[in-house]
Structure 1
Amino acid sequence: MRGNRLFKKMLGMLFFVTFISISFSAGYYIIELLPLRLNEYVRYLATIVTSIAIMILIGHLIHAIHHNKRVNIYLEIIDALRKIANGDYNVQLDFNMDKKNEMTDIINHFNHMAKQLKQMEEMRQEFISNVSHEIQSPLTSIVGFAQALQFNKLTIEERNHYLHIIETESRRLSKLSDNLLKLTSLESEHHPFERTDFRLDQQIRTIILACEPAWLEKELELDIALDNIPIVADQDLMSQVWTNLIHNSIKFTRHRGKITIRLQQIDSLASITISDNGIGISEIDQFHIFERFYKADLARERSKSGSGLGLSIVKRIIEMHEGTISVKSELEKGTTFNILLPIS
């Protein structure tokens, strides 16, 4: 349809130029009968008019071709959008444009959008795969030991052991479910976020005392120095941060190890450092430690297993408070988490 319209336009312009050429050719016979100077003047005028007609034709042809090229680009974009709507994100537009204009900007933005959507889809699939794996592991244990309990020849000690495993795995499932709901809520725009004034040093000290049974059991040495710092933040969310980080330090510090906790003010920021001399984190693992479901290899023992969501939740809460969190670690030497938070 569009090709037919373009052909008709070209044919019309060709007839127009042909008509002009024939008219001037016929006029040359009359021009020969005119005086010499007038003859030259008319020839000169005829050349100009013919040149203008040819330039008009070329201009129309260029415009028609350019317009047709733009139509093709629009059709390609519409087709690419249709693919994305159907879940196909492997789409990239590639047009050879001579110069940068609004069309090249549209194409570049479209390609960037398609790339981002593809990455989000990959993350979604990985997330579903990780959730399935994390759920399947405790469920397998629960089903297996529940079936084992049906044997009558088990001793009381064996039954109690199997029941303990079932209870442990059930709690792990419950914690995974809670963390998933919590992380989903934190990443939404509707999570309750209420800033209040409170003493950050008092909050951290309360969390340390709540963890006392755990660090006493491992006979850990605690080196604590907390400056008096009031802060404006969501008290409940910040409590989750310190609980998670301190629990991790206790979990991955060996018997009779040492944990150091520091709180001080640096300009308008509260600086919190939580260090231990535990098993440490490899350099490769440090790049992924805040990712969902990521667990360092040394943390894959059943006794130290977790959902791999705790540090993702911590990072999200810190970001909600416009703060930063970083980690430094070395295998067999320990780990240090450093948090910077705006005081108000």
Structure 2
Amino acid sequence: MKVKHKISGLVRFILMLIFLVIMYSAAFFITDYIYKILDWELNELLNQIINSIFGLILTGLMLSIIRKIALSKGWMRKRDAFGTIIEAVERIATGDFSIRLDDDDIHEHYPVAKLRESVNKMALELDKMENMRQEFISNVSHEIQSPLTSISGFAEILGNEELSLEERQHYLGIIRIESKRLSRLSDNLLQLASLDAETIKFEPEVYHLDEQVRNLILACEPQWAVKKVEIELVLDKVSITADKDMLTQAWINLINNSIKYTPEGGRIKIELYQESKKVLFKITDTGIGIAEEDQKHIFERFFKTDKSRQRSKKGNGLGLSIVKKIIDMHHGEIEVDSKLGEGTSFTVLLPVKQ
């Protein structure tokens, strides 16, 4: 009887998996068909999220219908293992990702226990994704709301006919600054989305990294010259195989970051060495520094600090996230070392060849 029970349970488990695969395939087919009809083009990450959620809803509805039929026909008990799993999937399909099945819910043999683990893992990952989505929307809304409020407020003030020409120019300057801030946020969001979805083609080529860094420093001269920042370059001749455009963005973000938070008359040192099969890039400034407790979060999206970042320095907290993503795509590493009031060092290690 035990052998027969195990075989029966295994058959049910296999049928359940086949059913789940069919439902998810149907969900992907339906969503792709809808996209074609509506002529929608979504990035890969958003497309996967929508397909997964739709697949869960479709699976939950079908399992609910099958369960009701099975209960009415007496084919299953109300609280058997599969009934508990089906209820969990139904709750997930309605957006309740907090559901977890423990050993007290299911006392079954290996196949069903494995299915329980899979449901728990799926719920946990969806819960994390939902939290990330809510946090992302909250952060973007906050970053957009601040400049929009400024633009709206000063545009209304400009309607006052009694304003002097000097006052009008002042308010127009603020509106231009906030407009550029919105534009930078938009550009950074689009770049991060492209990097996440890997829609940007990774095109490594052999080139001289020292020449690239030197040219970028010269390109940034208007920013560091106006603050009378001293620039020290220690660049060995280094050839690397990498995506030149991507690394250009990474170096620009790091250089601009150092210039932004280095006070007038400060110093920035950039070093470039080759160590065996690794390339070391290091940028050190005498800026305001970053608190030790904040350094582990510095590469998180939208992360800002009140202690180590002056509020007058406008930024959206995405620049270092983009740097981290680009370095990761090159199988490299990036570290930060900083002390408040003393300065910050960013060290990047990259393989010579990809």
TM-score, L = length of structure 1: 0.78
Matched, 1:200 2:213: no
Specify the SS of the correspondent of 2:80: helix
Gap change, CA 1:259 and 1:214, over 3 Å in 2: same
**Correspondence for 2:259:** 250
Once residues 262 and 104 of structure 1 are traced to their aligned partners in structure 2, the CA distance between those partners, rounded to angstroms, is 55
Cα pair 1:299 1:305 within 8 Å, conserved: no
Residue correspondence of structure 1 range 239-318 to structure 2 within 5 A: 239-298=248-307, 301=310, 303-318=312-327
1:183 partnered with 2:192: yes
Secondary structure class of the residue paired with 1:231: strand
Larger Rg over CA atoms: 1
The SS at the match of 1:297 is: coil
Say whether 1:213 aligns with 2:222: yes
Indicate conservation of the 8 Å contact 2:81/2:107, yes or no: no
Residue 84 of structure 1: CA displacement? 1.6
Q: Which blocks of at least 5 consecutive residues in structure 2 are unaligned?
A: 10-75
Residue identity opposite 2:145 in structure 1 = Q
Aligned-residue offset at 1:190 = 2.0
Give the C-alpha shift of residue 118 in structure 1: 0.5
Alpha-carbon separation, structure 1, partners of 2:244 and 2:254: 16
Distance 2:219 2:124 in 1: 46
1:41-56, aligned counterparts within 5 Å?
none
Displacement after TM superposition at 1:100 (Å):
7.8
Pair 1:273–1:314, CA change in 2 (3 A): same
Distance 1:128 1:229 in 2: 42
Following superposition, the deviation at residue 303 of structure 1 comes to 3.5
What residue number does 2:148 align with?
139
Structure 1 residues 97-106 or 259-268, which shifts more?
97-106
Give the structure 2 partner of residue 153 of structure 1: 162
Matched, 1:92 2:100: yes
SS for the counterpart of 1:341 is strand
Distance of 2:201 and 2:308 partners within structure 1: 32
Task: Supply the AA of the counterpart residue of 1:263.
Answer: L
Instruction: Indicate the residue corresponding to 2:121 in structure 1.
Output: 112
RMSD across aligned positions (CA)? 2.4
Residues 12-68 of structure 1 show CA distances to partners (whole Å, capped at 9, x for unaligned) of xxxxxxxxxxxxxxxxxxxxxxxxxxxxxxxxxxxxxxxxxxxxxxx57x959x967
The equivalent position to 2:81 in structure 1, one of 53, 73, 86, is: 73
Deviation of 1:104 after TM superposition, in Å, equals 2.8
Aligned amino acid, residue 298 of structure 2: I
**2:334 partner letter:** I
In 2, distance between residues paired with 1:166 and 1:184? Answer: 27
C-alpha distance after superposition, 1:87-123 (max 9, x if no partner): 2101101124779834333322321221121111101
Aligned match of 2:234:
225
Contact 1:197 1:230 in 2 (8 A): yes
What is the aligned counterpart of 2:244 among 235, 239, 242?
235
Closer, same or farther: CA 100–319 of 1 in aligned 2, 3 Å: farther
TM-score by length of structure 2 reads 0.75
In structure 2, the partner of 1:329 is 338
Residues 192-211 of structure 1, C-alpha deviation per residue, up to 9 Å, x if partnerless? Answer: 22111111111111111111
Q: State the one-letter code of the partner of 2:224.
A: W
Query: Relative to structure 1, is the Cα distance of residues 137 and 286 closer, same or farther in structure 2, using a 3 angstrom cutoff?
Result: same
Q: Secondary structure at the match of 1:190?
A: coil
For the 8 Å contact 2:287–2:342, the answer to whether it is kept is yes
1:214/1:250 contact within 8 Å kept: yes
Structure 2 distance, partners of 1:69, 1:189, is: 47
Distance 1:212 1:157, change over 3 A: same
| CA–CA distance in structure 1, aligned partners of residues 322 and 80 of structure 2 | 47
Extract unaligned runs of 5+ from structure 1: 1-58
Q: Distance in 1 between matches of 2:225 and 2:151?
A: 31
Q: Which runs of 4+ in 1 moved over 4 A?
A: 66-71, 97-100, 298-302
